[in-house]
Amino acid sequence: MNRKTTIAGGIILILLGGLFLLSEIFPQVFNFWDWPFIIIGVGVTFLLWAIISGTGGLAVPGAIVSGIGGILYYQSLTGDWASWAYIWGLIPGFVGVGIILNGLIDRNLKKTYTAGLILVLISAVMFFAFGYNFGLQRDIAMFWPVLLIGLGVFALVKALTSGKKREE
């Protein structure tokens, strides 16, 4: 391992240890914690490691695991376990967020931004489309076609603007 990675690991271990120590000393402050926080914590650890060590590729699994932990936390709080029928559609969006974070960390956002944004938009379409059919509130879910329109507008603008750059 290189020095930067070892330093990142040490910092993360200190932060995690401090957080767990605080939760033991002040349990009333941390009474909102539930089992999904373990999953969220693993994802946040990946994200921190990506940022501290400058290894942007770790942001992708970090965003996915954190996002799934967030879904599980929502379901644990509300008891709405049936929402999995449509909420899984957010996972490609977590990948897109991870790709965008990867680009920010590795300083190549121009290469990753479009792919990440497209995944986020596709994920939103899937979330609302499946949610419309499987239990998401109808007054929210009925506008999912607007996301398709937005995705189409994005594709057109991207195609039209990239064509001008090539012609010049």
pLDDT at 130: 85
Q: Do residues 47 and 24 touch, judged by C-beta distance below 8 A?
A: no
Distance CA 82, CA 71 (A): 12
Domain boundaries, the chain: 3-121
Q: 123 vs 27, 92, 147, CA distance in Å? A: 37, 5, 10
For the segment 89-141, what is each residue's pLDDT rounded down to a tens digit? 999 999 999 999 999 999 888 888 888 988 998 898 888 888 887 877 777 76
Tokens of 10: 């040490």
Q: Do residues 45 and 62 touch, judged by C-beta distance below 8 A?
A: yes
Averaged pLDDT, 28-39: 78
